[in-house]
Structure 1
Amino acid sequence: MLIYLLNKTPFEGVKNLILNEIIFFDIKLNLDHYDALICTSKNALIALEKNKIPLNLDMQIYTIGDSTACFAKQLGFKNIKIAKKSYANEFFKEFKEELKNKKCLYLRAKNIASSLNLDLKNSGINLDEMIVYENIFKSSNEILIHPSVFIFTSALSVENFLKNYSLHEDDIIISIGNSTAKKLLNFKNLFVCKKQSIEECVALAKKLAFKTPF
């Protein structure tokens, strides 16, 4: 079976299906005003880089996902904490007490699937938010083959896919996490990856692709 990945990250034996475009906003920011930086996507850090924001490399960075943490390290940040579980609600539970004594900045997309920002504020955390990028729909004329394995890496990737295509009953669907899976509950053959990682999703897809179709 063919494997489609709704993400631009290249993998051998996987076809990338790009139905989105990231738009970065022009921002001005002084990171010295904050004790902690919250980034749930690598795109938030890319926005800092694109806007040539002076980096406070000693500030505490809180991330979701290994890729975001690795990129923060590449930029030179020294104090990086990664949530044990790659879900916004688990991030909140893990760090809410630790963040209460800090002035925090959450760099985020225009549209987010979780309520992390509200949860943090409602728990009394001193939090500023800054919208630094937007993920917008990009149509495609590519003809898809069914049945195939489809890997969805965000709730928005599901929404963008369904604007352009439909899933067939015998397709296999892989979701990177629970928030994304909520958009796919009406479809059969849905698998939620145990670890919120594109690499893990692809590994699962390759296992399922060589099994007997449902």
Structure 2
Amino acid sequence: MPIYLLNKAPFEGVKNLILNEIVFFDIKLNLDRYDALVCTSKNALIALQKNKIPLNLDMEVYTIGENTACFAQKLGFKNIKIAKKSYASDFFQEFKEELENKKCLYLRAKIIASSLNLDLRNNGVDLDEVIVYENVFKSSGEILIHPSIFIFTSALSVENFLKNYSLHEDDIAISIGNSTAKKLLNFKNLFVCEKQSIEACVALAKKLESRLV
């Protein structure tokens, strides 16, 4: 059974189905004005790099996801904190008190699935938001094989897929987390990955595939 990953990350035995592209915006920032940087995606940090923003490597960086934290470390940031769970709601609960007395900058996508920005503000966090990138839909002419296993890595990946294709009754869908799964609640063959990483999703897909051989 073929495995399709709606992400560009390469894995052996997995087909990449790319239905979006990241568009980065031109921005100007002075990171020295802030105590903490909130990043829920690696793309936020790539935006800093693309715009050649001078980095304040001593500022605290609060991240969701190991990939984001690793990229922050690669850029040279020294004080990186990674949320124990990869959900915005859990990030808020874990760090809300810690961020209360800091001047914070949230680098984000144009459209976000969570209410993290509102939750932080409502909790008294001094938060500035800057939209640094956008996910733009890109159609595909690829003819899919059914049944297959489809790995969805964001709520937007589900939306983009359904603009171009449909899931068949005998397909299997794997969601990277609960927010993504909400877009697939009407589909019966849905698995939500216990660990919110693409690697874990691919491992689950291969495990399910081996059972069906």
Q: What range describes the TM-score normalised by the shorter chain of this pair?
A: over 0.9
Cα distance between partner residues in 2 of 1:195 and 1:131: 27
* Consecutive unaligned residues in structure 1, runs of 5 or more: none
Question: What's 2:98 paired with?
Answer: 98
Partner residue, 2:2:
2
The 3-state SS of whatever aligns with 1:167 is: coil
Q: Distance in 1 between matches of 2:77 and 2:158?
A: 32
Residue in 2 aligned with 1:150? 150
How many residue pairs end up in the alignment?
Answer: 213
Name the amino acid aligned to 1:12: E
Distance 1:177 1:59 in 2: 29
1:132 aligns with 2:118: no
Amino acid at match of 2:125: I
Partner residue in 2 for 1:202: 202
Q: Map of 1:170-181 to 2, 5 A cutoff?
A: 170-181=170-181
TM-superposed deviation, 1:3: 0.2
Distance 2:149 2:210 in 1: 10
Identity value in percent: 85
Per-residue CA shift, 1:103-148, capped at 9, x if unaligned? 0000000000001011101111100000000000000000000000
Which amino acid in structure 2 is aligned with residue 182 of structure 1? K
TM-score, normalised to structure 1, is 0.99
* 1:4-37 superposed Cα distances (whole Å, 9 cap, x missing partner): 0000000000000000000000000000000000
Q: Which runs of 4+ in 1 moved over 6 A?
A: none
Distance in 2, Cα, partners of 1:123 & 1:57: 27
In structure 1, the residue matched to 2:110 is: 110
Matched to 1:52, the amino acid is K
1:14-63 CA distance string (max 9 Å, x none): 00000000000000000000000000000000000000000000000000
Task: Tell me the SS of whatever aligns to 1:210.
Answer: helix
Aligned counterparts, 1:10-159, within 5 A: 10-159=10-159
- Give the secondary structure class of the aligned counterpart of 2:89: helix
For 2:82 and 2:178, locate their aligned partners in 1 and report how far apart those are by CA, in whole Å.
18
Gaps of 5+ in 2: none
Equivalent-residue separation in structure 1 for 2:52 and 2:212 (angstroms) = 51
Q: How far does residue 212 in structure 1 lie from its aligned partner after superposition?
A: 2.9
Instruction: Give the RMSD, CA atoms, in angstroms.
Output: 0.7
Residue type of the alignment partner of 2:72: A
Post-superposition shift, 1:174? 0.3
TM value normalised by structure 2:
0.99
Which letter does structure 2 place at the counterpart of 1:61? Answer: V
Distance in 2, Cα, partners of 1:36 & 1:195: 26
